[in-house]
Amino acid sequence: MKNPIENLNKVFDSRIRLGVMSILVVNEEVSFNDLKKMMEVTDGNLASHLIHLEENGYIKVHKGFIGRKTNTTYSITKAGEKAFKEHIEALENMIRGVR
């Protein structure tokens, strides 16, 4: 029998990365500040997790301005959606396997 755990995506081991993906999968574009408020994490902590997700090609970064202030927003990529969906399916299979 195939081990269900091998389908779990390592990138989503972190609750913060998992949380960011959950938010981006239901919202088209979310700013850094909104992500920070919803996740209740510090700037530095969130930034490093976002870089990790970006390097894996799961999220896209858009740098813009509101007036003179920088406004960085994030959105999910096709690859990110696919990876997130597969991860949820793997979680589902694990629960099915346990019961």
Residues forming contacts to another protein in the complex (CB under 8 A) are: 5, 8, 10, 12-15, 18-19, 22-23, 25-27, 30, 34, 37-40, 88, 91, 94-95, 98
Minimum CB distance to another protein, residue 12 (Å): 8
Give first-to-last CA distance, the chain, whole Å: 16
Residue among 40 and 42 whose Cβ is closer to another protein:
40
CB 50 within 8 A of CB 27: no
Minimum CB distance to another protein, residue 39 (Å): 8
